[in-house]
Amino acid sequence: MNILVCIKQVPDMEARFTPNATGTWFEESGLAFRMNDYDEFAVEEAVRLKERLGGEVEVTVLSIGPDRVVETIRKAMAMGCDHGVHVRDDVATDRDPWQIATMIAGYARSRGFGLIFTGMQSLDRGSAQVGVLVAELLGLSCATTVVGFSCDGATATVERELEGGTRAVVRLRLPALLTCQLGLNTPRYPTLPNILKARKRELLVLSPGEVGVEAPLAEASGFSRHERRSTCTVLEGEAGELAGMVVDLLKERTAVLRRGGGR
Amino acid sequence: MRETRELFWNVGQGSVPLMYLLSLAAVAVMVQGFRRLFGAWRLGRPLDRFDRSRERISRFLSETMTQRRVLRVPDGGLLHSGLFWGFITMFVGTILVMFQADLLSPVFQVNMLSGLFYRIFSLVLDLAGITALLALAGLFVRRYFIRPDGLETTQEDGLVHALLLCILLTGFLIEGSRMAVTEVRDNPALALWSPAGLLASRLFASMGDEAVAGLHRGLWWLHLLLGLGFIALIPRTKLRHLFTTSGNSYFAPLEGQGELATIDLEDDTVDRFGATLASDLTWKDLFDTDACTACKRCQDRCPAWVTGKPLSPMKVIRQIGRSASESPSKSLIDAVTREALWACTTCGACQEICPADIEHVVKIVEMRRSLTLMEGEFAGEEVRKATSAIEVTGNPFGMAPASRGAWAEGLPVSVMADDSRVDLLYFAGCYASFDPRNRKVAESFVRICAAAGIRVGILGAEERCCGEPVRMMGNEYLYQMTARQNIAAIGKYGVTRIVTACPHCFTTLDRGWRNLGLEIPVEHHSTFIAGLVGRRQLKLAPEPFGFTWHDPCYLGRHNGIYTEPRSLLKAAGGKLSEMEASGPDSFCCGAGGGRILAEERTGRRINSERVRMARNSGAGTLVSGCPFCLSMFEDGMAAAGSGSGMKAFDLAEIVAARIGG
């Protein structure tokens, strides 16, 4: 069985984002880039499955974007992916989820992957659409927000995280696509011998045209900072009273007291 | 009457060949033992410690003969020196006797051991014997009755004590029995020159001559056999330190302590990094384990051990020795334990005090390298996060790299990318760039430079972590990556001088980056500012304050900078009260060795311990010259509550507040 992992390079979210020249996305200069968190869970799960099954299993990692994404592909390879595919696309950040999904599906269609792992969503765009679109385009079974995974070679059994602190168990026939959520695993830190080996491996470099890209279905038309209007509330009164007021405020204005936490 | 004595009196010249035969056998047994040790040392990787032999020989002679390093700690050290000097004197005496008996007498028919020389010879050797005996008694009381904390006593210690005692006692008895039937009667004036022998001779006073002669002969052979046993036992007991500990004063590094090897990441033939097995260490690392005498001075001073963590530098060294000799194919790291390895602050207090010149820190870092580079392990989840942050954003806080130079906005500092016509490059480091408390230090440094008419430049967004914390945690790869990015950035601007306010940056740039291609001189702000004041380029308006100076490990022990910061602070009006552990004996703040990135989960907090020492000094201000120390002290003081009334500062803040007109 062969496995595909789709990863995205995203900016470190600590940065202060400003709109780019066209005003449709953020300005990239001065940003630090890294692998999307959820995609790290995807890579880790794929490599773990390969290690469990041993033998013939090979993991291919794919990323779409400009040359900077090679570093992230190499990191995934250092974590244990066997092959790297770079769809070199300087305008990847302008594309909508549909276009990205058609490119991935274009690459994967004839290659017979038994399992495809993606992140649940990206930290920057956050559409959470690419994985499910790829599954639909390829006619695969699909489960999202996966936090537990086992596989016997013909079926996959996954645990999905639902809202409100509940979980569901889903069984899927392979081939299948899974989008990974926080809690699935703790990604490994690559070892130096693997980093050095990954540095030397050849990548398969393809153009959007070679994998096939369709016209966008949605178009970004604006990007701006969300100016948070925070107001300061000063509470006054007895300690006991104050505690009640704080609880009320937390209930009304935040999610911290709701079941399942406030993530 | 000639004042001399008959060599081999009563034993007879006929015994001499047998004596030499037995001696030869003892030496052969000793050599055999050393060959086995030698085999164990050769398990290690190669390392050149035979260069600059003249410097090495002179250090070897001065350290062993003066017992300088042993005497650093009077407890145990004084007694050891007594034993050493006693035995070395008697050894020289024995060699003189051999020289006389086998060369001067038979070949030249000259008797050196006569007259005044013989009188002095007798007295000196008697006094040496008495000194050794008293020292041995003192050591015995110390080990078996006083029992200092942490001193480990085994049967071997008992054996060596008994052997030395018997050798000394039989020596005096031989002398006493010989004198009882010779000197005491024939030349009482000469007998006075052998006070211990004279005292011992009383034991034999009431015995018949025949009986004394018989006893003397028996004791002589016993003494010989004990002496030969001593020789044979040298490689097999802690007595080996006669060779290995003194040998280490030859092999110890000539550079500053704690110098780490720079791994060649381009070497395709290497696929193992760090020390997983004992054989991954160098021969010198394994030799060190045989130089250790378990004096536990390192353990007494280790900030981790003292605060109840499972790291004892001594136990690490001894475990490496056991692993190398007993189970070389088993994991060294499992034997030493991860908890012990991660607890090290690489402060170097162990190496500083070690009378055997053992290098503890490099071994610990080599084992950490194995954990980090071969296993992808971390001292904790928080360290993993900080490491990833350094990888991505160039700082352990994960702050946006673009904002790295934001602290300098509005200050007389130019970002190199905008204007590189500066007198010096200030390598701010992560803490001064992002930590609000340490930003004040950076501001102070800039104000000082401005007052001295010096144009300061920073790399700003182009600067990244120097890599020190992750390097000490074993991540040589990330260290080299971030270091090379910095070196490339600095290389663009024709920088002629770099100053940093962080001893960790300082040591890393000055020594580590040298091996990666940086050639620009680097200075710590303490010596730099002291220089400005010394040249009167910066004038101070002294204002009285009481302070205690905390020697940061990487300024003091690792770079030998002790006096400049003290003098500078005194020039600023400070009155110094030293802490109980200062100078080379300074006690770590707890943040070295990459521990700045880690939570302290076991034992008491090291920074609280240091703050306690600072408070005991009676000074109102705790001054240091390191951002890690400053952060640790701020935390330690906050934990101690506001009652302490003590404040922590960097020396730049003190100076900046006293800039004169």
pLDDT per residue over B472-507, tens digit each? 999 999 999 999 999 999 999 999 999 999 999 999
- Residues of A whose CB is below 8 A from B273: 192-193
The CATH number for B280's domain is 1.10.1060.10
* Phi, psi dihedrals of residue B458, rounded to the nearest 5°: -130, 160
**Residue of chain A with shortest Cα separation from B384:** A189
CA distance A25 to A10: 13
Closest residue to A196, CB basis, from B265, B388, B399: B265
Q: How close does chain A come to B77, measured CA to CA in Å?
A: 45
- Does the residue B48 lie in any domain? no
A189 shares its domain with A246: no
- Residues of A whose CB is below 8 A from B402: 15-16, 30-31
B561 shares its domain with B525: no
B352 shares its domain with B453: no
CA distances from A23 to A19, A221, B535, B626 (A): 5, 8, 55, 44
> Which of residues B375, B398, B432 is at a domain's end?
B375
The CATH number for A142's domain is 3.40.50.620
- Does the residue A218 lie in any domain? no
Closest residue to B400, CB basis, from A12, A189, A191: A12
- Residues of B whose CB is below 8 A from A80: none
A261 shares its domain with A184: no
Q: Per the CB < 8 Å rule, is B400 touching A15?
A: yes
Q: Residue A39: which of A138, A116, A141, A137 has the closest Cα?
A: A116
- Provide CB contacts within 8 A for B626, sequence distance 6+: B502, B503, B504, B552, B554, B555, B589, B650
- The pTM is what? 0.92
Model pLDDT, residue A262: 38
A21 shares its domain with A133: yes
Closest residue to B398, CB basis, from A14, A31, A190: A14
**Residue of chain B with shortest Cα separation from A11:** B392
The CATH number for B432's domain is 3.40.50
- Does the residue B222 lie in any domain? yes
A251 shares its domain with A147: no
Model pLDDT, residue A261: 41
B54-109 tens-digit pLDDT: 999 999 999 999 999 999 999 999 999 999 999 999 999 999 998 998 889 888 88
Q: Please, which residues bridge with residue A9 across strands?
A: A35
- Does the residue A19 lie in any domain? yes
- Residues of B whose CB is below 8 A from A188: 376
Q: How close does chain B come to A12, measured CA to CA in Å?
A: 7
Q: How close does chain B come to A65, measured CA to CA in Å?
A: 18
B89 shares its domain with B208: yes
B487 shares its domain with B553: no
CA distance B349 to B584: 8
Q: How close does chain B come to A177, measured CA to CA in Å?
A: 28
Q: Per the CB < 8 Å rule, is B403 touching A16?
A: yes
B217 shares its domain with B243: yes
Model pLDDT, residue A165: 86
- Domain membership of residue B80 as a residue range: 72-249
Q: How far is CA B326 from the centre of its chain?
A: 26
A136 shares its domain with A253: no
Question: What is the end-to-end Cα distance of chain B in Å, rounded?
Answer: 85
- Does the residue A44 lie in any domain? yes
- Residues of B whose CB is below 8 A from A195: 477
E strands, B235-377, in order: none
Cis peptide before A175 (omega within 30 of 0): yes
> Which of residues B219, B249, B279 is at a domain's end?
B249
A153 shares its domain with A87: yes
A245 shares its domain with A164: no
- Domain membership of residue A254 as a residue range: 229-263
CA distances from B648 to B42, B484, B634 (A): 49, 34, 6
- Does the residue B27 lie in any domain? no
**Residue of chain B with shortest Cα separation from A72:** B392
- Does the residue A88 lie in any domain? yes
- Does the residue B5 lie in any domain? no
A152 shares its domain with A253: no
Contact between residue B607 and residue B589 where contact means Cβ atoms under 8 Å apart? yes
Contact between residue B568 and residue B651 where contact means Cβ atoms under 8 Å apart? yes
Closest residue to B400, CB basis, from A14, A192, A196: A14
B341 shares its domain with B392: no
B139 shares its domain with B205: yes
**CB–CB contacts below 8 A, A to B:** 54
- Does the residue B37 lie in any domain? no
CA distance B653 to B661: 17
Q: How many structural domains is chain B composed of?
A: 4
pLDDT by 10s per residue, chain A, length 263: 899 999 999 999 988 899 999 999 999 998 999 999 999 999 999 999 999 998 789 999 999 999 999 999 999 999 999 999 999 999 999 999 999 999 999 999 999 999 999 999 999 999 999 999 999 999 999 999 999 999 988 999 999 999 888 999 999 999 999 999 999 999 999 999 999 999 999 999 999 999 999 999 999 999 998 877 777 778 888 888 899 889 888 887 776 776 544 33
Q: How close does chain A come to B374, measured CA to CA in Å?
A: 5
What residues in chain B have per-residue pLDDT under 50? Answer: none
A184 shares its domain with A75: yes
Q: Residue B476: which of B572, B367, B628, B549 has the closest Cα?
A: B367
- Residues of B whose CB is below 8 A from A27: none
B474 shares its domain with B618: no
Q: How many structural domains is chain A composed of?
A: 2
B369 shares its domain with B426: no
Q: Per the CB < 8 Å rule, is B376 touching A30?
A: no
A90 shares its domain with A43: yes
- Does the residue B44 lie in any domain? no
B511 shares its domain with B417: yes
Q: How close does chain A come to B160, measured CA to CA in Å?
A: 47
Q: Per the CB < 8 Å rule, is A33 touching B392?
A: yes
DSSP string across B502-545: -HHHHHIIIIIGGGGT--S-EEEHHHHHHHHHHTTSS-B----E
Reduced to 3 states (helix: H, G, I; strand: E, B; else coil), residue B81 is: helix
Tokens 């011998």 belong to: A193
Strand A155-161 with A167-173, pairing: antiparallel
- Does the residue B58 lie in any domain? no
Task: Measure the CA angle with vertex A207, ends A204 and A208; round to 5°.
Answer: 125
B403 C-beta neighbours (distance < 10 Å), count:
18
A206 shares its domain with A246: no
Q: Residue A62: which of A120, A3, A135 has the closest Cα?
A: A3
Closest residue to A12, CB basis, from B271, B398, B477: B398
A20 shares its domain with A76: yes
Model pLDDT, residue B14: 85
Tokens 């700003």 belong to: B460
Residue-wise burial string across A124-161, b where 16 or more C-beta atoms lie within 10 A, e elsewhere: bbeebbbbbbbbebbebbbbbbbbbbebeeeebebbbb
B85 shares its domain with B232: yes
The CATH number for B629's domain is 3.40.50.10700
Contact between residue B135 and residue B86 where contact means Cβ atoms under 8 Å apart? yes
Q: Residue B558: which of B275, B258, B336 has the closest Cα?
A: B258
- Does the residue B55 lie in any domain? no
> Which of residues B513, B530, B547 is at a domain's end?
B530
B135 shares its domain with B180: yes
Model pLDDT, residue A259: 57
Closest residue to A191, CB basis, from B265, B376, B388: B376
What single-letter amino acid sits at A206? L
